[in-house]
Chain A
Amino acid sequence: MDYSNFIYLKEELSLIAVIVILLLYDIFGSKKSLNYFQPVACLLVGVHLLLTCCPARAALAIFGDTPVADQVNAGVYPLLSGMYNLYPLGSIVKSILAIGTLIVFLQARNWLEGERTIIRRGEFYLITLFTLLGMYFMIAAGNFLLFYLGLELASIPMATLVAFDKFRDRSAEAGAKYILTAIFASGLSLYGISLIYGTTGTLYFTDIPAALTGSALQVMAFVFFFTGLAFKLSLVPFHQWTPDVYEGAPTSVTAYLSVISKGAAAFVLMVILGKVFGPLVEQWQAILFWVIIATITVANLFALRQQNMKRFFAYSSISQAGYIMLGVISGSTLGMASLVYYVLVYMFSNLAAFGVISIIEHRSGKETIDDYNGLYSTNPRLSVVMMIALFSLAGIPPFAGFFSKFFVFAAAVEEGYYWLVFIALLNTVISLYYYLRVVKSMFINKNESAIAGFRSDGYTRLGLVACSAGILLLGLLSVVYGEIHHYSLGW
């Protein structure tokens, strides 16, 4: 190992650099210069994103290390004695998460510039980036230790984000619920990991499969471990914190939580299930089968009668997690590609929706579905963005959500999960109902006292435009999925 290998850690290192710069800026920047915190943060994340997106191959070529580059391109390349795994798909997912984070940052302005949060705005960006770093570690982990550290790094700061509006008791309540449940879940997960360690004698991902025998203890260990990630993904029955936290947390945080955190967890879950628990495939497929059904159905049933938009989207995102799991359960290349693609599309759709919710909440203070009545007559553009997002979430063409849903279904069907897909498909009908409820209130319902028209700020608009473009183009431009699929071969 020589230091040139650090170039392989470019995602994490550049993120750490960003964090450090921002930290220093936050500490030493003058009060006036801090007004530019958001643009600077966005810019830095953008730079980081460029680095992340820049394929490892190209980066390596600069340093003249082509043999390794080929190896990386071919599949997983272990670094730091196998503690850290370098693989192209991981980089793709990381850049997806970074894009999402960037959009969240763009949309956070309205909230952060409020009088109570303005002095703490730097913290938001910093803490968010810390959690992002944690997710990077989770994704890159080749050992349960790094995985665990990444998981905790991604969830403990998140609690502070949830409780960020410290003068709102709902925010505090949500924070408490989040942190306590998170610790409990990670406790269970740790207990599972400890048992795995006990039965296999190793924590390295590459060594574990050979030592798995499928004994009852190992299965129990697996289930306990699974709980930790299922909690983050908010799969039923580990989902109950989700609506409360989503509702209570500041909207930007909810957006982040519902998309980035969930996306990372889904990807990592699939990687670990496939790479580490491969020998237990029958067990985890059976578990996922029922968990998916429960997740989609229960979440949909709850979503049916929600009034609060954020709570509504909480349930929606639970059920979306169920659909994401369809990719996981297949365990195939198609499944992996579809999952990543789904996360990408889901991210754009959900962020668009939360962008609208956020700006409306901060401009008018309204956040129930009925408040949205007649929104189209006053804020047509926001309504259209919202509608696109909802249609994409519901899986209506030509929006990207249609394609992503199609692919996860295809992945599951390829493995023979006809009944599962059937149930999921029926659930899409229910989900369409509640998504249409929102569309209905915006477009069809009349309202004398509709939310007054307003002009949103440039950052938010940029974010919304980016999301809309993503929703519209991701499906029609097959190259995105093609690339993801290409790098998913053999994961």
Chain B
Amino acid sequence: MEGLHLEYYLVVSAIMFFAGVYGFITRRNLLAVLISIELILNSVDINFALFNRFLFPGQLEGFFFTLFAIGVSACEAAVAIAIIINIYRNIRNIQVKNLQQLKD
């Protein structure tokens, strides 16, 4: 515990965050994109837990926030997957590049 400062964890979460962003931007499959988003959300969860644990140990706000955020991200994933399935049903494909009917 002593060896691991807050900063290390923060670095991890930041890396997760940007990995998620990177994934979102580069992956071609909608599901992979969705997974990348989960990475982002999880990095945030880590952040909340960390701050609560390290900086404001007397509170529970951060932990609660984490819990709620996890719940919400589950909902988001569910809705997103439902829509992706719908897309698959319509165009038999879930490649991001096929989502380009709407532009200009």
Contact = CB atoms under 8 A, between A and B. Distances in A.
Tell me the interface secondary structure of chain A in the complex: helix
Contacts of B48: 194, 197
Interface residues of B, number: 44
Contacts, number: 125
A145 B84 contact: no
A173 interface: yes
B24 to A, nearest CB: 6
Contact of B55 (A149, A163, A198, A247): A198
B79 interface: yes
A198 B65 CA distance: 12
Contact of B86 (A145, A149, A166, A245): A166
Contacts of B47: 191, 194-195, 197-198
Interface string B83-94: 110110111000
A188 B20 CA distance: 11
A258 to B, nearest CB: 16
Nearest to B40: A187
Contacts of A195: 47
Interface string B9-52: 00000000100100010000010011001001101100110111
A173 B44 contact: no
A148 B69 contact: yes
B17 to A, nearest CB: 6
Contacts of A245: 102
A88 interface: no
A169 B90 contact: yes
B87 to A, nearest CB: 5
A248 interface: yes
B83 A172 contact: yes
A175 B86 CA distance: 10
Interface string A194-216: 11011001110000000000000
A174 interface: yes
Contacts of B99: 173, 176-177
Contact of A173 (B68, B102, B104): B102
Contact of B101 (A144, A152, A173, A191): A173
A179 B61 contact: no
A194 B30 contact: no
Contacts of B80: 159, 176, 179-180, 183
A184 interface: yes
Interface string A143-158: 0110011001000110
A437 interface: no
Nearest to A240: B103
Nearest to B17: A191
A202 B59 CA distance: 9
A156 B71 CA distance: 12
A170 B79 contact: no
A163 B64 CA distance: 31
Which residue, A149, A166, A190, A247, has most C-beta atoms of chain B within 10 A?
A: A190
A177 B52 CA distance: 34
Contacts of B72: 148-149, 152, 156
A202 B32 CA distance: 34
Contact of A148 (B24, B68, B87): B68
B37 A187 contact: yes
A442 to B, nearest CB: 23
Given A187-B41, A190-B69, A191-B40, A169 B91 contact: yes
Which residue, A172, A174, A306, has most C-beta atoms of chain B within 10 A?
A: A172
Given A168-B90, A187-B44, 16 more contacts: A152-B75, A152-B76, A156-B79, A157-B79, A160-B83, A176-B99, A177-B102, A180-B80, A183-B73, A184-B40, A188-B40, A193-B65, A197-B52, A198-B55, A245-B102, A248-B102
A-B pairs with the 5 shortest C-beta distances?
A194-B47, A244-B102, A187-B40, A198-B51, A169-B90
11 contacts: A145-B64, A157-B79, A169-B87, A169-B101, A176-B83, A179-B76, A179-B83, A187-B37, A194-B48, A194-B65, A198-B51
